[in-house]
Amino acid sequence: MSAEPIATPPGPWCPDPMRQQRADYTLEDLLSLPDDAPRVELVDGVIQVTPSPTLGHQDISLLLARWLLQHAPADLRVAQAVGVELSSNTSRQPDVLLRRSGLPAETSTLKPADVVLAVEIVSPGTRRTDRFAKPGEYAAAGIPHYWRIEQNPVHLYAYRLSGQLNLSRERQYELVADSAELVELTEPFDIKLPIAEITP
């Protein structure tokens, strides 16, 4: 009597190593990922699995999203961890963003023109990306405002697109405000944000 092989379910989804080497993943590939795929970003054709956020990171994210929801004008909406198509082979997921209203509810990825503000909360594993890579990508895509929030202590850095190009002739952000106490801005709307209100 011969034993039939027992079918084993496939393991969790992971990117194809050959496609990763070729860096040929596209935005369309992201839309067809299986339900069990982890949270990922697409950077220059390479799929990057994003690390799980800490409780402190999530607390700041939720507090900021709630504050923006309560204070943003009606033509702006708050979203969290929604993909933004920065180019044909790059998509990022800001921790919090302000988008233009009127988009269909089934929209799962945004165009840069839909995004008014992208916010990243810096964690130990994302320092380099959040401080350098993402602002460069968001600026190049034309997203008007970028906020970086550092933890321990909570400190918000607010940037807007500059009229000046960087040395590579690309768009860049300029710092317009930073504080660990109170951030006051006139763009993207009149803002008076006490940092204590987004501090866990």
Region of 112 on the Ramachandran plot (φ > 0 left; ψ -120 to 50 alpha; else beta): alpha
CA dist., res. 187 & res. 190, Å (int): 6
Torsions phi, psi for 135 (to 5 deg): -60, -35
CA dist., res. 95 & res. 10, Å (int): 31
Domains delineated in the chain? 17-49 (no CATH), 55-198 (3.90.1570.10)
Whether 7 shows a pLDDT value over 60: the answer reads: no
Dump pLDDT digits (tens) for 82-138. Answer: 999 999 999 999 999 999 999 999 998 999 999 999 999 999 888 999 999 999 999
DSSP at 181:
S
If you average pLDDT over each of 50-54, 106-110, 176-180, which comes out highest?
176-180
